[in-house]
Structure 1
């Protein structure tokens, strides 16, 4: 627990909430003058034993339940980044899931210009794997530029994907299915993900892969065979990242190299050059 950071975050956000907005009256005599809700009022609103919130804000509540943190985050109106900070300060771990069901469904509009400026294949999906934005290089992957509306559904369920994603059952599906499972676990109320799961379970070809499960391996850094609609068969190297304001969304950059074999050696991992930093 990072007590100092946790206390600062909670105090700052608590001070922004007017007690009157929750039916409390502010004392007019010699009573409390500090802005915002009192610690006891927080306990009352959350239906917790008096003193519970004080323990948390003062840093004397080791390993508080995530349900308590979620209730506080919702009461204080935290955004997703603040929710992540709360969990990291209190538990030294990322949140168990998004704070709001709508999170991860949109990104700042400037991402369109950023994606358009990338030379390689680039696209961004939301938390449900619906396509948010892409560049012209991504559209060229598909015959007639007909891009899928949901990349997860396309990869696992659309027949034409199996001609684009070469070695579909061995080089793609074992890595894609665990990502879908993880997304559904984090967002059990997501209607789009639930519908994809139902379609998969009804598909005799893909359902065995889904039932088998598998460990989640993030695609960042992977190389996989792919048939480009214009350039033919080749390999893509996958770079994956997440927009900070939209947990669950994903940005992918695919570096395509035509040819039947992997023609480029795997570059070494990038690390900061501390020697140069000190010499500067």
Structure 2
């Protein structure tokens, strides 16, 4: 079988096949913790095929095909039902998708609310501790869900706009404050937007972001036609001239991070460079 059936491909999850993973997940579950499941007269621990099918609301035959590793074009709804029935972690759900259909699960269609909820006190403390360098936390569509005080002081317009990309492309002040705007900022940013749009074609906030930027900027439309792709801006050296610095030119190094617990958040720190380091 191919990697979706999991019989002969090591893939991303060791040598365990899809059937082995599903059997292991069934056996570790305690039937007594599932309301409505009969527990008397059981011969062994864990859930049966029938239990999982019942909890997922599917036929035992259909679940059995999955556990046998058959390639049957399983839907996301079906796999999510099985994932919920087996109480899989996010990493295990990812493994289930990759083994069953050859791809990871898609992100939520509307991630803003989930991303905002993931911006908790611990993450805010991490962002605050990046001072004196500005740091922002954005969701998949670059909506700002968190920032530290230096970010507010350096970029008050972007904080008011509450979206990093919209401010960059649609605010006249951004073109003056972000030096070499077209080459150092607009081109890589549009490459990042195209990259995320390709990875999440059904994400409505990303679709709206693309539409608004291209509608509002003729330069952006010209750059977009180059079809450049950029996965992140980590390590890039860029220059600014902000009111906060009384017009003094400042060089910053972009540091990009993603919390391991979240698929939706990115942390961006602009680390100020000394003139000597920026010139090297």
> Same fold by TM (over 0.5)?
yes
Structure 1 residue 11 corresponds to structure 2 residue 26: yes
Structure 1, unmatched stretches of 5+, are 266-280
1-side partners of 2:32 and 2:232: how far apart? 40
2-side partners of 1:50 and 1:8: how far apart? 12
- For the 8 Å contact 2:255–2:268, the answer to whether it is kept is yes
Q: What secondary structure does 2:239 align onto?
A: strand
- Counterpart in the other structure of 1:131: 144
2-side partners of 1:155 and 1:55: how far apart? 51
- Counterpart in the other structure of 1:252: 268
2-side partners of 1:63 and 1:216: how far apart? 35
Cα RMSD of the aligned pairs, angstroms, is: 3.8
How many pairs are equivalent? 254
CA distance 1:167–1:215, shift in 2 (3 Å): same
- Counterpart in the other structure of 2:232: 218
CA distance 1:81–1:17, shift in 2 (3 Å): farther
2-side partners of 1:252 and 1:118: how far apart? 10
Q: What TM-score does the superposition give when structure 1 sets the normalisation length?
A: 0.71
Structure 1 residue 241 corresponds to structure 2 residue 257: yes
Give CA deviations for 1:156-189 in whole Å, capped at 9, x if unaligned.
Answer: 3222221222111111122111222233344444
CA distance 1:163–1:243, shift in 2 (3 Å): same
1-side partners of 2:31 and 2:227: how far apart? 45
Structure 1 residue 115 corresponds to structure 2 residue 127: yes
More helix by share: 2
CA distance 1:65–1:254, shift in 2 (3 Å): farther
- For the 8 Å contact 1:125–1:250, the answer to whether it is kept is yes
Match of 2:196 among 178, 183, 187: 183
Taking CA–CA contacts closer than 8 Å with sequence separation of 6 or more, which of the two structures ends up with the larger relative contact order?
1
CA distance 1:63–1:243, shift in 2 (3 Å): farther
Q: What secondary structure does 2:154 align onto?
A: coil
Structure 1 residue 98 corresponds to structure 2 residue 112: no
CA distance 1:76–1:104, shift in 2 (3 Å): farther
2-side partners of 1:35 and 1:96: how far apart? 26
- For the 8 Å contact 2:107–2:200, the answer to whether it is kept is yes
Structure 2, unmatched stretches of 5+, are 1-9
- Counterpart in the other structure of 1:271: none
